[in-house]
């Protein structure tokens, strides 16, 4: 990411403000409204969700990680 946001947690690209994945420009984001993105925000949110689903399918939670929840 080429900008700085005080709400961004780089370890897992998480938004501490919105308590979800960081997708700049998503509703509630502090990135200025005039910022232009090459890909519309709805599409970037969809891609991010798809990535998460694929990662979860490739790395199913272990018994130990399920017990931590
Ligand atoms: S979604 Fe917006 S407010 Fe949240 S961390 Fe990303 S850039 Fe910052």
Cross-strand pairs, 21: 14
Residues contacting 3, CB < 8 A, separation 6+: 24, 31
In the structure encoding, which two tokens stand for residue 42, read together?
């709805």
Instruction: Determine if ligand 1 sits within 6 Å of the CB of residue 41.
Output: no
Q: Span 28-43, mean pLDDT?
A: 88
The Å distance, Cα 53 to ligand 1 centre, comes to 21
Q: What is the residue extent of each domain of the chain?
A: 8-61
- Ligand 1 atom with least separation from CA of 26: 1
This prediction's pTM: 0.76
Helix (H) or strand (E) holding 15: strand 14-15
How many CB atoms lie under 10 A from the CB of residue 23?
22
- pLDDT tens sequence across 45-63: 999 999 999 999 998 877 7
Q: How far apart are CA 65 and CA 69, in angstroms?
A: 7
Helix (H) or strand (E) holding 21: strand 20-21
- pLDDT tens sequence across 5-32: 999 999 999 999 999 999 999 999 998 7
- Ligand 1 atom with least separation from CA of 23: 1
The Å distance, Cα 62 to ligand 1 centre, comes to 30
């Amino acid at each position: 990411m080429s900008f700085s946001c005080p709400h961004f947690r780089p370890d897992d690209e998480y938004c501490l403000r919105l308590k979800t994945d960081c997708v700049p420009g998503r509703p509630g984001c502090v990135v200025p409204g005039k910022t232009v993105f090459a890909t519309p925000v709805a599409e970037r949110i969809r891609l991010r969700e798809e990535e998460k689903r694929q990662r979860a399918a490739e790395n199913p939670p272990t018994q130990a990680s399920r017990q931590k929840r």
